[in-house]
Amino acid sequence: MRVLTWNLWWRFGPWEERRKAILAVLGDVQADVIGLQEVWDCGGENLAGWLAAQLGMHWTWASSRSPQRWQRRLGDATVDIGNAILSRWPIAEHDVAQLPARPDDDDGRLALYARIDAPTHQVPFFTTHLTSAIDASAIRCQQVKTLAEFATVHSRGTDHPPIVTGDFNAWPDSDEVRQLGGYKTAPAVPGRVFLDAWEYADPAQPSATWNPANPYVAAGFEPSVRVDYIHIGPPGPEGLGSVTSVRRVGDDPVDGVWPSDHAAVLADLRGPSEQHPLPSL
């Protein structure tokens, strides 16, 4: 199974040209399940719905409870923002968790869940977008706790490990990312561990998903860093759901147009029919 996560930069910049570039990338990589952040909805049209129709996929989305700060930045109060999940297979159920926020700075962050009715196993799939303030690690830690609790509740009843995707707005060694993993510090939920798919990557691979090589990022003079993640629970029977490859995509312009300010992360996961040798003792 091939999974992808991507922040689509809402409706900023040349959005009409960008969505064509986004579609071109998604059409090329042929992911089975996709977690999307900063998805716009306006006037009866939804970016995720448009992409799903073009790609022949199922989809679900959830809007921010508090989009006003985003709308002020865009200068348009008619455009909503949210997260979405696209799936090659039917979505059996879905749910939303509202994430904590600072009392004076609620921009409606959320986590979206979809149970993917894949051919051999149902797959618990999640996508989220944590708060972006540079000094907000403490609130992101609270958001990760809510996310991990949400994922724990919705991951029961299947052998396939849960998949948590999203833009965490946090560096790999941050408290919030380490707490989701649970193997470098105490986990956000006791006993619940999510493995960072990028741990399986070739160390020589470019990893930054927020990269000043992208002109949308260069304008902010910020350092290059990986802030977008695919996290997966421990493998199921015979390695079910374990990572076989991972790479960055959407990290170049398409016909001169950069699709987003973020690069995407793409991972291939082991299915039930793929054999692998058992480790020797």
Is 102 part of a structural domain of the chain? yes
Is 278 part of a structural domain of the chain? no
Is 30 part of a structural domain of the chain? yes
Q: Which residues contact 181 (CB under 8 A, 6 or more apart)?
A: 187, 193, 194, 195, 196, 231
The one-digit pLDDT tens for each residue of the chain (281 residues) are 999 999 999 999 999 999 999 999 999 999 999 999 999 999 999 999 999 999 999 999 999 999 999 999 999 999 999 999 999 999 999 999 999 998 888 889 999 999 999 999 999 999 999 999 999 999 999 999 999 999 999 999 999 999 999 999 999 999 999 999 999 999 999 999 999 999 999 999 999 999 999 999 999 999 999 999 999 999 999 999 999 999 999 999 999 999 999 999 999 999 987 655 444 44
Is 54 part of a structural domain of the chain? yes
The boundaries of the domain holding residue 254 are 2-269
Give the predicted TM-score (pTM) of the model.
0.95
Is 280 part of a structural domain of the chain? no
- Looking up residue 235, the CATH number of its domain turns out to be 3.60.10.10
Is 281 part of a structural domain of the chain? no
Q: How many domains does the chain have?
A: 1
Is 86 part of a structural domain of the chain? yes
Task: Give the whole-angstrom CA distance, residue 159 versus residue 135.
Answer: 38
